[in-house]
Chain A
Amino acid sequence: MEDLVENLANGNVTAVKIVLASVIMALAVYQVVLMAVGWGKVKLPFLKGKPASFAHRAVGDTIVTITIVVAFMCLAYFGIEDGIEHARPGETDRATMHVVAAFALLAALAFKIVVVRWWHRLGKYLPVIGLTVFALFLATWLTSAGDYLLGG
């Protein structure tokens, strides 16, 4: 698995992960804007609620696919224990927070998909679930790619 991931990324696993995670983060911000229009919280003259919701669903499907790819790369290449145990001095907390946020994100994302597709009774909670997913995306990005890009 490690070799597969390394070959796929042409030896630049971390860099590829940073780019993909940042794309996900940027699209997640766009998703919040789309859904604010979709739920009628923001009114735009050039975009109505229904098309915004449709675009939200389409972009969301893309985000989920890329997230699964990044999660697979992360687990296959770095692992959980390795990532935390072998983090650089002073970075163990960041690595631990990243693992916790990432697993919480996957769970929240799965739950949101279940609610959207099948568990319609909980549909009224979708704004809260969606914002939770966004917050977890942000936490996961800030404790990995964001740390590289912003923290240096």
Chain B
Amino acid sequence: MADAARSHALQIVGSLLVALAIVAVTVSLVTSRLGPGIDDDRGRDARDRRQERQEELRERREERREERRKD
């Protein structure tokens, strides 16, 4: 009985450790794809596009803030 409970606990801990490993691997893979280390054209284009989009959004927010101030 105690062995079964211990085995269950170990299986749960093991499953959760696998989940942690999945998180670590995913973060590592995605950040390496997004980070400054990207040197393929597709990655560079995606990064440029992303930066452009963030700049556009920032500008629009600034414009909205200005409009609110005027109102």
Distance, CA A46 to CA B18, complexed state (A): 13
Asked if B11 and A78 sit within 8 Å, CB to CB, the answer is no
Question: In the complex, what residues of B have CB within 8 A of residue A50's CB?
Answer: 8
- The reply to whether B12 and A55 contact each other, CB–CB distance below 8 Å, is yes
Counting contact residues on chain B (CB < 8 A from A), the size range is: 20 to 34
Interface assignment of A4: CB less than 8 Å from any CB of chain B: no
Grouping DSSP codes into helix (H, G, I), strand (E, B) and loop, the B interface class, with mixed when no group exceeds half, is helix
Complex CA distance for A27 and B54, rounded to whole angstroms = 28
Of the listed stretches A17-25, A113-121, A126-134, chain B binds A17-25
Contact B19 A55 (CB under 8 A): yes
Q: How far is the CA of A143 from the CA of B23 in the complex (A)?
A: 21
Q: Which residues of A contact B34 (CB under 8 A)?
A: 15, 18-19, 148-149
User: Which residues of chain A are near B14, meaning CB under 8 Å?
Assistant: 46-47
List 26 A-B residue pairs with CB atoms under 8 Å apart, sorted by A's residue number.
Answer: A14-B53, A15-B34, A18-B34, A19-B27, A19-B30, A19-B34, A23-B27, A26-B25, A34-B15, A47-B14, A48-B8, A51-B8, A52-B11, A54-B12, A55-B16, A55-B19, A58-B16, A62-B19, A82-B57, A82-B60, A88-B49, A88-B53, A149-B30, A149-B34, A152-B42, A152-B46
Which residues on A are within 8 Å of B, measured CB to CB?
2, 13-15, 18-19, 22-23, 25-27, 30, 34, 46-48, 50-52, 54-55, 58-59, 62, 77-78, 82, 86, 88, 145, 148-149, 151-152
